[in-house]
């Protein structure tokens, strides 16, 4: 399956910047069965990386216990309008995707 779209929004808070991201991914646990009773293979995002102006600020490792179409919020100190945020993920099949946005 091709990597689905990602959505991100970064907004200024009181002394911090809030980054919200939505990833499109099945996050299969390897325990669910399809309509024919066959187990759906384990398929999930393992790594999530958040960069601000090119510098990695959050390095996340996750499991199949994260809900389908993962949504995360991260925060960093300060921040300014126009900061460039990049979020990327890598799954257990080697598929990857990323998205970029500027702080609004």
The reply to whether 29 sits near another protein by the rule CB under 8 A is: yes
d(CA 67, CA 62): 11
The reply to whether 4 sits near another protein by the rule CB under 8 A is: no
The reply to whether 93 sits near another protein by the rule CB under 8 A is: no
Min CB(22)–another protein separation in Å: 10
The reply to whether 89 sits near another protein by the rule CB under 8 A is: no
Output the CA torsion 31→34→38→44 (10° steps): -40
Window 53-72: contact mask with another protein (x via CB under 8 A): --xxxxxxxxxxxxxx-xxx
Min CB(102)–another protein separation in Å: 17
Q: Residue 12 or residue 57: which is nearer to another protein going by CB? A: 57
Cβ neighbors of 38 (< 8 A, separation 6 or more) are none
User: What DSSP letter does each residue of 11-44 carry, written as one string?
Assistant: EE-SSEEEEEEEE----B-S--B-TTSPBPPPB-
The reply to whether 12 sits near another protein by the rule CB under 8 A is: no
């Amino acid at each position: 399956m091709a990597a689905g779209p990602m959505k991100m929004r970064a907004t200024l808070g009181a002394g911090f910047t809030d980054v919200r991201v939505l990833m499109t991914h099945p996050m299969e646990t390897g325990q669910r069965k399809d309509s024919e009773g066959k187990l759906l293979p384990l398929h999930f995002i393992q790594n999530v990386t958040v960069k601000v102006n090119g510098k990695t600020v959050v390095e996340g490792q996750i499991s199949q216990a994260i809900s389908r179409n993962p949504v995360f919020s991260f925060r960093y100190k300060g921040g300014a309008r126009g900061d460039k945020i990049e979020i990327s993920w890598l799954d257990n099949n080697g598929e990857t995707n990323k998205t970029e946005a500027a702080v609004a």
